[in-house]
C-alpha cells in the first residue's frame, strides 16, 4: 500500500510571492490568460504592455518546469492555466 501525503494538492503549481505591483494591474494580465493553454498564455504574457507580465511569464514557465520534473508531464500543449489567484 502506498501512503498518500495529505499536504499535496492535485496538479502542478508555481507561486510568485512578494511582487511589488498593484493587484488591479496584475489582474488585467491574469484575467487574459486564465483558462488558456500554455502556449497561448505565454504569448499573451509576452505581448502584454504591463510590466507585471514578465513576472507572470516567469511564474508560468516555472509551473511548466515543475510539471515536467515533478509530475512527469512533458507535453506543453496539454497544459492549461486553470487557477490564478490575485
Q: What is the pLDDT of residues 9-49, one digit of tens each?
A: 667 778 888 999 998 999 999 999 988 888 899 999 999 99
Residue 57 inside a domain? The answer is: yes
**51: pLDDT confidence band, cut at 50, 70 and 90?**
very high
Residue 8 inside a domain? The answer is: no
* CB-CB contact of 39 with 76 (8 Å): yes
Residue 7 inside a domain? The answer is: no
The CATH number given to whatever domain includes residue 71 is 3.90.470.10
Distances (CA, A) of 57 to 31, 33, 68: 14, 10, 17
**83: pLDDT confidence band, cut at 50, 70 and 90?**
low
Phi, psi of 35 (to 5 degrees): 90, -5
Instruction: Determine the average pLDDT of the residues in 60-65.
Output: 88
Residue 4 inside a domain? The answer is: no
Residue 5 inside a domain? The answer is: no
Residue 65 inside a domain? The answer is: yes
Residue at grid coordinates 491574469: 30
Residue 83 inside a domain? The answer is: no
Say yes or no to pLDDT of 50 above 90: yes
Residue 61: give the domain boundaries: 23-78
What pTM did the predictor assign?
A: 0.78
> How many domains, the chain?
1
Amino acid at each position: 500500500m502506498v501512503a498518500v501525503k495529505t499536504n499535496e494538492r492535485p496538479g502542478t503549481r508555481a507561486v510568485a510571492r512578494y511582487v511589488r505591483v498593484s493587484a488591479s494591474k496584475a489582474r488585467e494580465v491574469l484575467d487574459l490568460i486564465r483558462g488558456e493553454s500554455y502556449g497561448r498564455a505565454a504569448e499573451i504574457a509576452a505581448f502584454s504592455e504591463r510590466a507585471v507580465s514578465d513576472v507572470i511569464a516567469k511564474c508560468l514557465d516555472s509551473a511548466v518546469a515543475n510539471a515536467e520534473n515533478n509530475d512527469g508531464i512533458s507535453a506543453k500543449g496539454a497544459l492549461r492555466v486553470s487557477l490564478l489567484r490575485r
